[in-house]
Structure formats: C-alpha cells, structure tokens
C-alpha cells in the first residue's frame, strides 16, 4: 500500500511536469483546471495510501513482533492498540492471554484427537496414566525472543514436551498409592515447580498445572481402595474406643457422686435427728397411701406415737 501511494504521487509529479498547455489552445482554462484537480486528487490519494500503510492495529490481548527484511526487532515489540509503524515492517501477532493445553484420556477432550494421556512409571514400578491441563501465557516482554528462537508454534515445541517430561520426572519419586491418595497435592505442587522453571527460561509463564485424573491398573486400584477402606474402618474404631473411654470416665464420675451423696445421707440419718426425719418420711408416705382412691384397707405397723398424726376419717 505504501509503494502504491508513493507511485501515485510520483506519477502525479511527472504528469504535472510533462503536461503543458499550448498558448494557442482555446480551452486553456479548462485544461488548467483539469491538471490542477488531477494533481490534487492524485496527491490526496497517494498520501492517504501512505498514511494507511503507516498505521497498524494490534488486537486486544496480543503483542506484535516487528520483522524488518527478515530481521526481528527484539526491542520494538508493540502492545495492543494503534501504532505508527515503518511501512516495510511485517507484524507477527502473538497472543498473551491465558491458554490451556490439555492431555486427556478422553478421545475428544484434549488438543490431540484420541487417548493423549501421559503414561509414567511410579517409584514401585507401576505404570499410571494421567490427565493433565496446563494453564500458561506468553511473557509479553519475551515475545520477540520467543518468535526469533522458537517460532509461533512454541506450544508444540515447548509446552507439550516440557509438561510430559516434568510429570515423568516427578511421578518416579512416588509410589502409586501416594499419588492416588495422600500425596496427590504434593505431586501436583512439585510438577508446578519444575515446569515453571522450564517455561520461564523459554519466555513462557506458567499459571497452574491441574492434575485432573489418574488411571491405575485395575488390580492396583482395587487393592488401594481396600487399603483405604481398612484405614477408614480403623479410624472409626479409634473414634468408637475414645467415645467408650469417655463414657466410662463419665460413669465413674457419676458413681463417685452417687456414693458421696449416699455417704452424706447416711451420716445425716445417725442419731435422734435422723430418727425423726425417717419417722416424718414414713408418715408422709403412709398419708399418701391412705388417701389414694385405689386402697380400701391400709395395714401399717402400730406405733402409738404415729396415730395422732394421721387424719383418720
């Protein structure tokens, strides 16, 4: 576009210089106007094309790497927005948004069709298949270097092989049982740490590694599940035992309280005051028994001291 505009302006200048009006021509005024309008129009069109070739737009969430005659301008990466650029520069647009690369057992879920799960050996020599998703983004400050040294296909060259290598290097340090149960989070953290170092040295920023699924051989999985169930049952029995011990302690405390109460009551019944209390309690119970509508005859031990206290009708 820049060259076309430049050629138009050069053409107008040449036309202006070579086109002459003869003095004896009767339509000299009209021809002068035509030459003037043609000159203005040509320069305006050429100027517009030149200006348009200088203005470049970088899409949101992207950066543009400038390439001039096959040479990458490493320190002239453009951010998103409108820029005035050398018309001979080619812009290579690269996204800096968060990207996800998935390697999955499911046929149509990952970046590659078919079973793309990562197969790795554990510390105890078992083979496990793992589903993985990597969240990452291109470091905008390193975009030109990445394009220069790796290319725009850095995902296939760096992200995929680095992720698979980090996983295999990590799983070999753990047993299948540890990865499947108690140390799964630790395995994921170690993969994050190793992969982040590899990515950073290549101009890529790791956000997170998601260990989504783990597939073990059927026999191993069943054995692990049985072991986990046994551990849960053992933990349950520990809880039951603790509960029974607390219940036994409660009963001991209750029995101690009852014995102390009985001791206090027994001491209070010794002597004349105790005899008077028992006599009063006896009369109270006898009175309630006598007043009960279900009784017609009441037989009680005879004691002349009690008779005046009963209200016999």
160: domain CATH number is 3.30.479.30
Question: Is pLDDT above 90 for 136?
Answer: yes
Last residue of a domain, one of 171, 195, 216: 216
Please give the pLDDT value at position 82: 87
Q: Is residue 182, in this structure, part of any structural domain at all?
A: yes
Question: pTM to 2 decimals?
Answer: 0.57
pLDDT (average), residues 92-96: 92
pLDDT (average), residues 206-211: 88
Please give the pLDDT value at position 310: 47
Give me the number of domains the chain comprises: 3
Q: Is 118 in contact with 132 (CB distance < 8 Å)? A: yes
Cβ atoms within 10 Å of 116's Cβ, excluding its own:
19
Range of the domain at 295: 272-309
Indicate the range of 32-36, 126-130, 221-225, 230-234 predicted with least confidence.
32-36
pLDDT (average), residues 302-308: 52
Q: Is residue 121, in this structure, part of any structural domain at all?
A: yes
Q: How confident is the model at residue 17 (pLDDT cuts 50, 70, 90)?
A: low
pLDDT (average), residues 78-96: 87
Tell whether 145 and 195 lie within a shared domain.
Answer: yes
Q: Is residue 115, in this structure, part of any structural domain at all?
A: yes
Counting residues of the chain whose pLDDT is more than 90, the rounded percentage is 10
Tell whether 140 and 198 lie within a shared domain.
Answer: yes
Q: Is residue 64, in this structure, part of any structural domain at all?
A: no
Tell whether 53 and 112 lie within a shared domain.
Answer: no
Tell whether 17 and 122 lie within a shared domain.
Answer: no
d(C-alpha 141, C-alpha 78), whole Å:
10
Q: Which residues of 141-150 are buried (b: 16+ CB within 10 A; e: fewer)?
A: ebbbbbbbee
Q: Is residue 230, in this structure, part of any structural domain at all?
A: no
Question: Is pLDDT above 90 for 137?
Answer: yes
Query: Averaging pLDDT over each range in 34-43, 192-201, 275-284, which range is the top one?
Result: 192-201
Q: Give 209's strand partners.
A: 134
pLDDT (average), residues 137-155: 90
DSSP characters over 170-194: HHTTS-HHHHHTTTHHHHHHHHHHH
Query: 34-57 pLDDT, tens per residue?
Result: 666 666 666 666 566 666 667 788
pLDDT (average), residues 5-33: 58
Question: Is pLDDT above 80 for 298?
Answer: no
DSSP 158: I
Q: Is residue 256, in this structure, part of any structural domain at all?
A: no
């Amino acid at each position: 576009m820049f060259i076309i505009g430049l050629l138009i302006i050069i053409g107008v200048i040449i036309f202006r210089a070579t086109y002459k009006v003869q003095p004896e021509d009767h339509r000299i005024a009209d021809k002068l106007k035509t030459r003037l309008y043609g000159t203005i129009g040509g320069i305006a069109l050429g100027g517009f094309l030149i200006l348009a070739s200088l203005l470049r737009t970088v899409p949101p969430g992207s950066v543009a790497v400038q390439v001039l005659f096959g040479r990458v301008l490493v320190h002239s990466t453009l951010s998103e927005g409108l820029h005035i650029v050398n018309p001979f520069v080619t812009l290579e647009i690269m996204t800096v948004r968060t990207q996800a690369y998935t390697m999955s057992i499911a046929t149509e879920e990952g970046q590659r069709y078919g079973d793309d799960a990562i197969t790795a050996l554990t510390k105890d020599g078992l083979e496990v298949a793992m589903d993985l998703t990597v969240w990452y983004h291109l470091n905008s400050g390193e975009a030109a270097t990445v394009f220069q040294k790796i290319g725009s296909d850095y995902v296939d060259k760096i992200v995929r092989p680095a992720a698979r290598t980090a996983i295999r290097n990590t799983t070999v340090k753990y047993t299948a049982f540890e990865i499947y149960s108690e140390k799964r989070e630790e395995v994921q953290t170690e993969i994050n740490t190793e992969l982040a170092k590899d990515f950073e040295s290549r101009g890529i920023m790791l956000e997170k590694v998601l260990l989504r699924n783990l597939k073990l051989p059927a026999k191993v999985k069943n054995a692990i599940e049985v072991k986990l169930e046994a551990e849960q049952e053992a933990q349950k029995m520990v809880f039951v035992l603790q509960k029974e011990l607390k219940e036994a302690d409660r009963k001991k405390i209750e029995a101690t309280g009852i014995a102390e109460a009985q001791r206090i009551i027994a001491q209070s019944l010794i002597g004349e005051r105790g005899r008077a209390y028992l006599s009063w309690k006896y009369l109270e119970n006898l009175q309630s028994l006598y007043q009960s509508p279900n009784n017609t005859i009441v037989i009680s031990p005879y004691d002349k001291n009690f008779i005046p206290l009963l209200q016999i009708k």
